[in-house]
Amino acid sequence: MKTYFKGTKVLRNKGSKVESRSRTKSIFFTLFSIFFTLISSAQQQDSTKVNQLDDVLVSAVRVTSKTPVTFSNMDKKEIKYRNLGQDIPVLMNYLPSVVTTSDAGGGIGYTGIRVRGSDATRVNVTINGIPYNDAESQGTFWVNMPDFASSVESLQLQRGVGTSTNGSGAFGASLNMLTDSYATKATGEISSSFGSFNSNKNTVKFSTGLMNDHFELAGRLSTIKSDGYVDRASSDLKSYFLQGTYVGKTTLIKALVFGGTQKTYQSWNGIDAETLNENRRYNSAGAYTDEFGNIRYYDNETDNYNQDHYQLHWNESISDKWSTNVALHYTKGKGYYENYKEDAAMSEYGLNPVGAVTETDLVRQKWLDNDFYGTTFSAKYKNEKLDVILGGGWNKYEGDHYGKVIWARYASQSELGDHYYDDFSTKTDGNIFAKANYQFTKKLSFYGDLQYRRVRYQANSAETGLVDDTFNFFNPKAGLNYAFNEKNTLYFSYARANREPNRTDYEGGNVKPEKLNDFELGWRFNSEKFQLNSNVYFMGYKDQLILTGRLDDVGNPIRSNTDKSYRLGLEVDATIALSEKFTLRPNFTLSSNKNVDLAVDGEYYGTTKIAYSPEVIAGNVIVYKPIERLYISLLQKYVGEQYMNNIELASAKLADYFVNDLNVSYEIKPNTVFKSITITGMVNNILDKKYVSNGAMWDIYPYYYPQAGINFLVGLTLKF
């Protein structure tokens, strides 16, 4: 759920705020103009080397097998086999230590991801090196970018602290996505899919190819609709992606505009244990009792949000040893959550009593209107032994939060358009870093990474109070990589991370920033038919903000500091080529996740398990290729039992589950109009397992988010 906050009317100088925002935006767009001028001059350079510079976009935040960091990659080919409308977290479900969930139960709409037990607010997400996490809540809302997987060239998931990156600090993982590369020849693509719960996706893509060997224009339009597995958990999603590219001998310039519009009927309430047994698809959102005592459901209990992203990247290969990247970005978000409130206290909405009447049914909207903009930059130097990256970024968030009553049974003195609360917040985030890989000998290399990050957060609301906090974080990282031979590599690394609280954390008061020391010891084996990655990790926390299992009134997770805690685990993943037709890709994680000497509300509980942190997570992909261009995959996922709070309450335990999906893809290459015709099918949960992947606690009472039983999606893609 996006960060819609309630509050009270706050008197402030709106003119000064608007003037300040206007001034900062003017400066920002002036930089854009200067940047375009520089682009024009870049075309006149005397260049001698042709480079593929796409990777420069994310080289500052990505790693390779020569870096002592634990990671997994997914490329476009792997994504396309299952890209039938479900969100990116669902497509990543089979990576090591990953657990995903869906509010609507079918993978479309609001979806979530946890890595090593850390929720989405701890997973740093960048798109082409630009921060994507919401600045205030620190969460990632994939529903705002439907079908973004269709525009992703590759992604890398670094587990643990990982390497220094832009945006909020990684406390469980960092996810780096690179959007589509440019095409040298003109292409077109039409794809459609449909399936269970009236789900359907329609996508159109095109590329002009390189015109005059230098310029390309490419784009995508998508629509996704679904009724959802859960009752009324519908989604109506639209998105676009437009990219202009200039390719020179040593220059790559990309201008990107992408975004989405979403309308989702909410389903974040969950259901209690009795309802789970009797009617697991029930949704209480929007329920109210009319004047005649009948239970009805408000037909617009929805989240409505638009988000548009603008990115401009200039990548330059200065010489054989030096390359640079500079980027400017701007994101505009605006939308609201609408819901029906029964018997609401009129005083909470600025309404005077009507005679003896002090409560009223009403329909309210909680609005967000925010701007996020800034720059990222890096310079890379590489010779035979030394690889150095110097970089950083500066970003600013400005957000309006306000509420409106659009209907009330007793409207009192209200006028259309009145605000019953007005909050405003800003967050400025700047960082600089230096990374180096040095090859001491043919077998031994050293990795060092130093980052300084400064964050200032200001907010006002009834829940947070007046906040004006500044944080200065120093995050060092170091490691060794030792290659015994061409097949075996051993690595060890240490990383320090610090992280500021999010807005919801301030509602609890007395909140502290978090600190993490992450140790990773790994072994990589690589041969023609067998690849193995294994590592042991220890993540020791000070003042970790752990999930309590509780939610606020708009679905945001409530967290609290715990003095000491840790995560200790073993991760193993492999790729095994049994033959030319059979490939196995198993992985598993065994972990212990504990709060040390936990005290809650003055009561001592000792050492307990951290909420939402299963001790066993396992996945497996069996790929069978009976003939050329026919792929049949069985995808398996096991998630062990986990608690929804930190005091190991019996009623707070989520049962383990084991789910199997079947994926079939067949590509035809006719010698006619189409270059390729691909037929794809996905049968999810083929054994019809009735399982729950997520939940919440209302005091001592558990509420569950059930996932769909057996369901299917089929698609057709035409390329020309």
Q: In this predicted model, what pLDDT tens digit does every residue of 332-379 receive, in sequence order?
A: 999 999 999 999 999 999 999 999 999 999 999 999 999 999 999 999
Residue whose token pair is 């037709």: 581
- The per-residue pLDDT for 677 is 95
630, amino acid identity: L
d(CA 429, CA 443): 38
Does residue 652 lie in a domain region?
A: yes
d(CA 520, CA 533): 12
Say how many domains are in the chain.
Answer: 1
CB atoms under 10 Å from CB of 454, counted, come to: 14
Q: Which of 643, 650, 584, 646 is nearest to 618 (CA)?
A: 584
CB atoms under 10 Å from CB of 699, counted, come to: 6
d(CA 447, CA 478): 5
Residue 168: helix, strand or coil by DSSP?
Answer: coil
d(CA 558, CA 1): 12
d(CA 136, CA 399): 9
**Cβ atoms of residues 635 and 618 within 8 Å:** no
Does residue 215 lie in a domain region?
A: no
**Cβ atoms of residues 253 and 313 within 8 Å:** yes
| Dihedral sign (CA 155, 161, 165, 170) | positive
- pLDDT tens digits, residue range 376-398? 999 999 999 999 999 999 999 99
- The per-residue pLDDT for 25 is 52
CB atoms under 10 Å from CB of 596, counted, come to: 14
In the Cβ-directed half-sphere of 132, how many Cα atoms lie within 13 Å? 25
- The per-residue pLDDT for 215 is 95
- The per-residue pLDDT for 556 is 74
| Six-digit token string for 577 | 């080529």
Does residue 214 lie in a domain region?
A: no
Q: What is the DSSP annotation of 436-464?
A: EEEESSSSEEEEEEEEEEEEEEEEEETTT
Residue 507 CB partners (closer than 8 Å, separation 6+): 463, 464, 552, 558
d(CA 23, CA 476): 35
Provide the b/e sequence for 314-342 (b: ≥16 CB within 10 Å): bbbbeeeeebbbbbbbbbebebbbbbbbe
Question: What's the pTM value of the predicted model, to 2 decimals?
Answer: 0.91
Task: Give Cα separations from 407 to 265, 287, 355, 362, 433 (angstroms).
Answer: 19, 16, 19, 5, 51
Enclosing H/E stretch for 37: helix 14-42
d(CA 665, CA 463): 51
- pLDDT tens digits, residue range 152-166? 999 999 999 999 888
Does residue 210 lie in a domain region?
A: no
Long-range contacts from 181-186, C-beta under 8 angstroms, 24+ separation: 181/54, 181/153, 182/54, 182/207, 182/210, 182/216, 182/218, 182/243, 182/245, 182/247, 182/254, 183/207, 183/209, 183/210, 183/216, 183/218, 184/209, 184/210, 185/209, 185/210
d(CA 536, CA 538): 7
Q: What is the 3-state secondary structure (H, E, C) of 53-120?
A: CHHHHCCCCCCCCCCCCCEEEEEHHHHHCCCCCCCHHHHCCCCCCEEEEECCCCCCCCEEEEECCECH
Residue 627 CB partners (closer than 8 Å, separation 6+): none
Q: How many helices (H) and strands (E) does the chain have?
A: 5, 36
Q: What are the two backbone dihedrals, phi and then psi, of residue 519, each rounded to the nearest 5 degrees? A: -115, 130
What burial class does residue 471 get, using C-beta atoms within 10 Å of its C-beta: 0-12 exposed, 13-18 middle, 19+ buried? middle
Enclosing H/E stretch for 335: strand 322-345
Range of the domain at 401: 14-180+190-197+223-719
C-alpha of 537 from chain center = 23
CATH number of the domain enclosing 354: 2.40.170.20
| Dihedral sign (CA 484, 485, 489, 491) | positive
Pairing of strands 287-289, 215-226: unpaired
As a residue count, the chain comes to 720
Q: Which of 464, 462, 465, 351 is nearest to 404 (CA)?
A: 351
Residue whose token pair is 């996508």: 203
Residue 388 CB partners (closer than 8 Å, separation 6+): 380, 381, 382, 434, 435, 436, 437
| Residues of the chain under the 70 pLDDT cut | 1-57, 553-555
d(CA 320, CA 52): 13
Residue 427 CB partners (closer than 8 Å, separation 6+): 135, 136, 396, 397, 455, 456, 457, 458
Does residue 5 lie in a domain region?
A: no
CB atoms under 10 Å from CB of 42, counted, come to: 17
d(CA 607, CA 568): 14
Q: Tell me the longest C-alpha to C-alpha distance in the chain.
A: 86
Residue 278: helix, strand or coil by DSSP?
Answer: helix
Provide the b/e sequence for 214-234 (b: ≥16 CB within 10 Å): eebebbbebbbbbbbbbbbbb
Q: Which of 635, 484, 599 is nearest to 82 (CA)?
A: 635
Task: Give Cα separations from 17 to 130, 135, 400, 490 (angstroms).
Answer: 26, 19, 11, 54
Q: What is the 3-state secondary structure (H, E, C) of 475-542?
A: EEEEEEEEECCCCEEEEEEEEEEEECCCHHHHHCCCCCCEEEEEEEEEEEEECCCEEEEEEEEEEEEE
Does residue 218 lie in a domain region?
A: no
- The per-residue pLDDT for 2 is 58
Does residue 217 lie in a domain region?
A: no
